[in-house]
Structure 1
C-alpha cells in the first residue's frame, strides 16, 4: 500500500469511527425516549434494556453505517481540500479516481459487512429483541409458546400439496394435529393423510398415528379409510423445515404488505420462490421487489463514495457545518427515493429491479457527473 493510501485511510477512519459511534448513540438515545414507556409497562429493568439494544444493534448499524461513511468522507475530503492537499496530490499527476481508490476499497468492504449483518445478524437480533420484551410478562397457559405457531396452512405449489397444521414448533420442526392433501384437483381431495404428529428425521418426514383417506367414485359419499398405522415414513414429501419457516415469515410480511423496507432475508425469499413457482401478479411484484431491494441495499456504501468524492474535493472553502448539511440533504433525498421506489415496486407500478436499484443508479450518475465536472 502506498504512503498516500495509508494517509488517506487514516484521515478517513478516525472521523468514521467518531461518526459511527455518534450516530449509534444518537439513534439508541432517540429510540429509548420513544420506547421508554413501553419498557416500563413491560417491567423491563436496566439490564433488560441493555440486552434489548445489544440485540437490535445490528439493525441500527445497517441504518447508520452509510450515513456515517458519507459524513466522514465529506469531513475528510473538505479538510484535505482546505489545506490544499487535494491540489498538491493532483498536481503530482494523480487522478481523482486514483485518489479515490482507498475510499472505494472502504466502500466495498463496508458494503460486504452491511450485507452480512443484514442477512445473518439482523433477523435473529429482531427475534431476540421480541423475546426480551416478553421476558417479564405473566405466564399465560393458553398463549402460544416460544417459536410455536397454531392453525398454520402451508402450501407447496411446486409439488402440489397443502399442509394443515394444528401446532407447529419452528425450532424443532415438530407438528401435531395435521393433515396433508393435494392442491391440484379442482378443489377436491382425492386423498388426505391425517396424523397425530409428525417430524422430519434425517431428511424424511415421519408421521405418527396415521389415517389415510381416499375419495370414492361417488362424490357424495364420505372418504374411505385406506390405511391406519402407528408410523409412516414418506420420503416423497420433500418440504424442508427451512422452507416451512420461510413460508411463515413471508406470509406474515405479505399480510402486512409493508413497503417501508426490504425486510425479508434473501434465503427466506428464495425458499418461498422455490415453493411457489406460479405466483399471482401482486405476489410476484411484492416478492421480487423485496429480493432486489435486499440485493441493492448494501451497495449504498459504494454509492456514497461515488457522490462524496467529487462533492468533497471542491469543498475547501466550506466549513464543517456545510458538510453536515450536505450529508443530511443527500441522505434525505436517497431515503425518499428508496421509499418511493419500494412502494411503486411492491404495488406493481414499476418493475422490481428498477424500484430497488433506481436510488443507487440515480446517485451513481450524479457522482459520475460531478466527477467529470471536477477539474
Structure 2
C-alpha cells in the first residue's frame, strides 16, 4: 500500500503547482480579455472568453499526465520512462540551439537597451509558446526513433511482443503523449503563439529604441458606412496613447455622398473620455459647390467618434499574427474589406487547428520506423523518417500558400498535409504489424521509378 500511494506524490505536487499557476494566470488572462474588449468592442467575446479556460487547462496538463502515468501498467510506465528520457534530451538540445541562435542574432539589439536583462527575459518569455510549437514535432520524431531503436537493439520490443502485446499496444502510451503534445499546440495556437510571432519584432525594436509601425496604409470603414479612415502609420504603442500618423478621414451622408474630408498629421484616442484629438487638421467641405471650402484649424480638433484604434487597425493586421479569436473577429467584421483577402484569414483559421495534429502524425510515422526486428538496425528507418519529415515541412509550407492564393480551398490547404501523411503513417503501421520490410520496400519503389 505505501508503494502504491508513493505513485501519487508527483500528481499531488503537480496539482498544487497547477492550481497556483491557474489562479494567477487565469486572473491575468481575464484582465487581458477585458482590456481587449475595451479596444475591440466588436470582437468575438465568446472566443476571447475561452482564453482563461484554455490557460487553466494548460496549467493542469502536468497533473493529468502524471496521474495517467501513475495509473498505467508496468510495461507502459517503462516505455514512457525510456521515451521521456530521450525526449528531454532531444527537446532540451533543440530548445538550447534555437535559443542560442536567436540570442546570437539579437544580442547586439539587446545591448542597446538600458535594461538588457529585463528585455531579454521579456523577449524569450513572450517567444516561448511559438518556440515550443515549432520544435515539438522535431523533438518527438528524434526522441521516438532514439527510444524505439534502443529498445529494438536490446530485444526489449521482441520481449514485449512475446508477452502477447502487438505493435499498436506497445506504442499506445507514446500515441497518448502525441495527443498531449497536440493539445498543448492547440492551446498555444489558439492565441499565444501567433501573438508571440507578432510581438517579437516589437520587443526587438524597443531594444534598439526605434519607433516602427505595427501596420501601414490601413483603410477602415465604420459599420454605418458614414466614415472612412485611412491611416498612414500605426505605432506599436497606439494602445498606450501613441498618436496615429498621417490621417485621412472621409465622411458621407446616408446616400453615400461625400460631405467632408479631414486630413491631420496625427490622431490620438483617449481611453478615459473616448474622444479623438486631431492635430493640425485640414477640413474640406464638399457640400459647397462648385468648389469646396478649405479650412485649416490652428487648435486640435476633438470629436466623439465611436471608432477605436483597435478597430481601425484590425484590417491591416496580418493573419499569421492573429489567433483564433482575432481571426474570428476579422472574419465577422471585415470579410468584404476591399484591401484584405479573406482567403488568407480563412486558411490561417483552419491551419491553427490543423498544425497541432502534426505532433500526433509524427508519432504515427516514427513509431513503425523506429521498431526493427532484423539485424539491419534502424539506419534505414532514420533515413526514411528524415525524408518524410522534410516532406511534411515542404507540404505544410506549400499547401497553405496555395490556399492563400486561391488555388486550393482554405480547408484543404490547411488539412492536406495531415491527411496525406496520416495515410502514409497507416501504411507504415500496417507493414510493421504484418512484419513486412519498410526501408527495403521504399528502396525498391525508388528503383522502379528510375
The counterpart of 1:172, out of the listed 214, 223, 240, is 240
- For the Cα contact (< 8 Å) 2:197–2:321, is it kept in 1? no
- Output the CA distance in 2 between the equivalents of 1:40 and 1:214: 51
- For the Cα contact (< 8 Å) 1:15–1:76, is it kept in 2? yes
- Output the CA distance in 2 between the equivalents of 1:339 and 1:120: 21
The counterpart of 2:176, out of the listed 79, 102, 105, is 105
- Paired position in structure 1 for 2:409: 351
- Paired position in structure 2 for 1:153: 218
- Paired position in structure 2 for 1:14: 85
SS in 2 for 1:171: helix
- Paired position in structure 2 for 1:259: none
- Output the CA distance in 2 between the equivalents of 1:200 and 1:186: 31
Structure 1 residues 88-97 or 177-186, which shifts more?
A: 177-186
- Output the CA distance in 2 between the equivalents of 1:184 and 1:15: 67
- Output the CA distance in 1 between the equivalents of 2:243 and 2:119: 34
Measured after TM superposition, the shift of residue 286 of structure 1 is 2.1
Measured after TM superposition, the shift of residue 14 of structure 1 is 0.8
SS in 2 for 1:155: strand
Instruction: Give the helix-richer structure, 1 or 2.
Output: 2
Matched, 1:79 2:173: no
Distance 1:136 1:337, change over 3 A: closer
- For the Cα contact (< 8 Å) 2:215–2:317, is it kept in 1? no
Measured after TM superposition, the shift of residue 107 of structure 1 is 1.2
Matching of residues 278-297 of structure 1 within 5 Å: 278-279=336-337, 283-297=341-355
- For the Cα contact (< 8 Å) 1:56–1:122, is it kept in 2? no
Matching of residues 117-128 of structure 1 within 5 Å: 117-118=188-189, 119-121=191-193, 123-124=195-196, 127-128=199-200
- Output the CA distance in 2 between the equivalents of 1:361 and 1:197: 49
- Output the CA distance in 2 between the equivalents of 1:273 and 1:370: 39
- Paired position in structure 1 for 2:290: 220
SS in 2 for 1:349: coil
- For the Cα contact (< 8 Å) 1:39–1:133, is it kept in 2? no
SS in 2 for 1:163: strand
Distance 1:296 1:345, change over 3 A: same
Measured after TM superposition, the shift of residue 191 of structure 1 is 5.1
Q: Which has the higher contact order (CA 8 A, sep 6+)?
A: 1
The C-alpha deviation readout for 1:296-335, integer Å capped at 9, x for no partner, is 1111111112222233334664545545434322221101
Matched, 1:360 2:360: no
Distance 1:180 1:344, change over 3 A: same
Length-normalised TM-score, structure 1: 0.73
Matching of residues 48-59 of structure 1 within 5 Å: 51=121, 56-59=127-130
Matched, 1:342 2:413: no
- Unaligned 5+ residue runs, structure 2? 1-70, 435-450
- Unaligned 5+ residue runs, structure 1? 138-142, 254-261
The C-alpha deviation readout for 1:62-89, integer Å capped at 9, x for no partner, is 2221011011112222233333333443
Instruction: Note the aligned Cα RMSD (angstroms).
Output: 4.2
The C-alpha deviation readout for 1:138-189, integer Å capped at 9, x for no partner, is xxxxx747xx669753413654342244775422256567564457989842
- For the Cα contact (< 8 Å) 2:110–2:120, is it kept in 1? no
Measured after TM superposition, the shift of residue 116 of structure 1 is 3.3
SS in 1 for 2:220: strand
Distance 1:166 1:77, change over 3 A: closer
- Paired position in structure 2 for 1:206: 275
Distance 1:281 1:57, change over 3 A: closer
Length-normalised TM-score, structure 2: 0.63
- For the Cα contact (< 8 Å) 2:404–2:410, is it kept in 1? yes
- Output the CA distance in 1 between the equivalents of 2:391 and 2:311: 37
- Output the CA distance in 2 between the equivalents of 1:354 and 1:220: 55
- For the Cα contact (< 8 Å) 1:342–1:355, is it kept in 2? yes
- Paired position in structure 2 for 1:256: none
- Paired position in structure 2 for 1:257: none
